[in-house]
Amino acid sequence: MVGLKLFNTKGGLIEVMPHLAEAEADVQALIEAHMDTMLGVRFLASEYVIDCVDGGRIDSLGLDENGAPVIVEYKRGTDAGVINQGLYYMAWLMAHKDAFRSLVRDRFGAAAASQVLWSAPRLICVAGDFTRYDAHAVREHRRSIDLVRYRYFDDDHIGLETVASVTGQAAVSRRSRQRAARLPLTRKQDGAMAELAEAVDEALLGLGDGITRIQRKQYAAYQRLRNFACLIPPQQTKLLVYLKADPKEVDLVPGFTRDVTGLGHHGTGDLELQLRSERDLERAQDLFRLSYAAA
């Protein structure tokens, strides 16, 4: 985003200069109010006081689309301590799971509290900027960490850019996927649909850098900062893939694409793809890219 230039074309061509927030609290308040839209995280608590000897306040707590606990820390500008601060809070969180479950239960119900994905906790650091040392530091940890740079443009626009994204042990990246065994959804299955699921997995992980696969019992989610695709375990004659692409922007084809807005299903996304062959996978590539770009 540092190299991004934004221009207003109304009444000429005027460059819109990026700037930082006046205060860290301004960024926090905006993101907490729209956390689901901006980060793909359901908001749980703000300024959460932790109970330990050294004390502290977690800026924001949330639950992501796959049920993983999320800590969000904010800095107005560049702050070398934001990652270590977040990891300190992460250690506390993993040692006090009951406290987090209680928050989830109070806000989203007992079912959500019982399905928290403790194997993939996440730390999201939102700041005005990060150094190259920050990007290197997150690669040395075994936690899932996202470094997100923000910039305001005038008073009406804000931009978010993922500077670095590192996965924890439960997530599978494109690189580690090349060394991994079969897709967990297909390990107990054989045949054409299992092979097609493996091909879909390769296609989704291969769309770009920073893509990770998060495994849940009911689906595999593919995400950057947020989910852009979810693959359901193979059925006898077809695969179901749910994408974040807007169904209204797609020419729906009966038997191939379907608008499932408002319909319950596993995973996330309102555009359903029904894949039955390698040819269907080829037809789906543009839709994969569309959803990836929207994530």
Examine the fold and report which residue of 166, 196, 225 is the final residue of a domain before the chain moves on. Answer: 166
Name the one residue in this structure whose structure tokens are 């996202």. 146
pLDDT tens figures, 265-287: 999 999 999 999 999 999 999 99
Does residue 1 belong to any structural domain of this protein? Answer: no
Residues 14 and 150 placed together within one structural domain of the fold:
yes
What stretches of the chain adopt beta strand conformation (E)?
Answer: 6-8, 14-16, 18-19, 41-49, 57-64, 69-75, 122-127, 144-153, 157-166, 171-173, 212-215, 220-223, 227-231, 239-243, 257-259, 271-275
Q: What is the pLDDT of residue 186?
A: 64
Residues contacting residue 82 through CB under 8 Å, at least 6 positions apart: 73, 75, 125, 127, 134
Examine the fold and report which residue of 116, 140, 166 is the final residue of a domain before the chain moves on. Answer: 166
> Average pLDDT, whole number, for the chain?
89
Q: Which domain holds residue 190?
A: 171-294
Which of 275, 278, 228, 230 has its CA nearest to residue 253?
275
Least confident of 158-167, 174-183, 228-237: 174-183
45, β-bridge pairs: 61
Residues 185 and 87 placed together within one structural domain of the fold:
no
The CATH number covering residue 59 comes to 3.40.1350.10
pTM higher than the cut 0.85: no
Residues 156 and 36 placed together within one structural domain of the fold:
yes
Residues contacting residue 96 through CB under 8 Å, at least 6 positions apart: 50, 51
Q: What is the pLDDT of residue 154?
A: 83
Q: Considering its fold, how many domains does the chain have in total?
A: 2
CA dist 282 and 288 (Å) reads 10
Q: What is the pLDDT of residue 191?
A: 84
Examine the fold and report which residue of 107, 132, 166 is the final residue of a domain before the chain moves on. Answer: 166
